[in-house]
């Protein structure tokens, strides 16, 4: 899962980003509406956490332009005043969900996870292939009932492969959906992460490499 946080309070934005990364979610951060909109229109985010009161371009306009662009990203709008009028206005602009500040971090993660499922074709909260089970809500993974200690990138790769249900997933798609904007596409990051994930999953192997195409469960 890949998330964009657009929030002008730098301390809050960084706190949210750190917490989401600890929850095995790839995160990019923008501190104003203009740079956030630019990132959102270029990158394939599952969820965009959008503060309403932003400099440069107001959050309402960012939301409206994202909806007009027709992307698949889901928008979770944040505001300092959780009034009914704000809620109605935000949802009326096309936001998918709304959360008032201050908020409990666990609630934010739960809302993001739920929205991410809606950003994809229908995907259940628990993904499974054979004895490999991944719970997107709890952000946990197991094989044969044993917990897998996965890094955020390993978790994201496994999540995407399981959700693909046997479809071949190109390395480029994995890089775009699991890594943040700081990832270097020429470092072999996908190959290295895949190798480590396979080692943690153990035998018999569950991830297949399809020559010149990508990977699949």
Q: Which domain CATH number covers 74?
A: 3.40.50.2300
Residues 64 and 138 in one domain: no
Together in a domain, 137 and 106: no
- pTM of the predicted model over 0.75: no
Mean pLDDT of all residues in the chain? 88
The reply to whether 105 and 190 lie within a common domain is: no
| Residue 21 lies in domain | 2-119
Question: In 3-state terms, what secondary structure has residue 107?
Answer: helix
Phi first, then psi: what are they for 183, rounded to 5°?
-70, 135
* One domain, residues 85 and 156: no
105 and 12 in a common domain:
yes
Q: Average pLDDT for residues 83-109, to the nearest whole number?
A: 78
Number of folded domains in the chain? 2
Provide the pLDDT confidence category of residue 84 given band limits of 50, 70 and 90: low
Domain co-membership, 144 together with 73:
no
Strands (E), 106-217: 126-129, 132-135, 140-143, 146-147, 208-210, 214-216
Task: Let me know whether 64 and 166 are in one domain.
Answer: no
User: Taking the CB of residue 160, how many other CB atoms lie within 10 A of it?
Assistant: 20
């Amino acid at each position: 899962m890949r998330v964009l946080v657009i929030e002008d309070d730098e301390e809050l934005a960084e706190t949210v980003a750190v917490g989401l990364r600890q929850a095995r979610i790839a995160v990019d951060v923008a501190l104003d509406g203009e740079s956030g909109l630019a990132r959102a229109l270029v990158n394939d985010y599952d969820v965009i956490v959008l503060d309403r009161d932003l400099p440069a371009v107001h959050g309402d306009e960012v939301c409206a332009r994202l909806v007009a662009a027709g992307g698949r990203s889901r928008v979770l709008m944040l505001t300092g005043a959780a009034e009914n009028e704000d809620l109605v206005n935000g949802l009326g602009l096309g936001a998918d969900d709304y959360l008032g500040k201050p908020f409990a971090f666990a609630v934010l993660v739960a809302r993001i996870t739920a929205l991410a499922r809606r950003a994809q074709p229908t995907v259940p909260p628990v993904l499974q292939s054979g004895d490999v089970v991944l719970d997107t809500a709890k952000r946990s993974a197991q094989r044969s009932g044993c917990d897998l200690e996965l890094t955020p990138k390993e978790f994201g790769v496994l999540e995407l492969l399981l959700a693909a249900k046997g479809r071949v997933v190109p390395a480029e798609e994995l890089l775009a959906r699991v890594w943040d904007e700081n990832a270097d596409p020429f470092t072999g990051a996908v190959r290295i992460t895949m190798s480590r994930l396979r080692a943690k999953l153990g035998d018999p192997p569950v991830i297949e490499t399809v020559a010149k195409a990508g990977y699949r469960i």
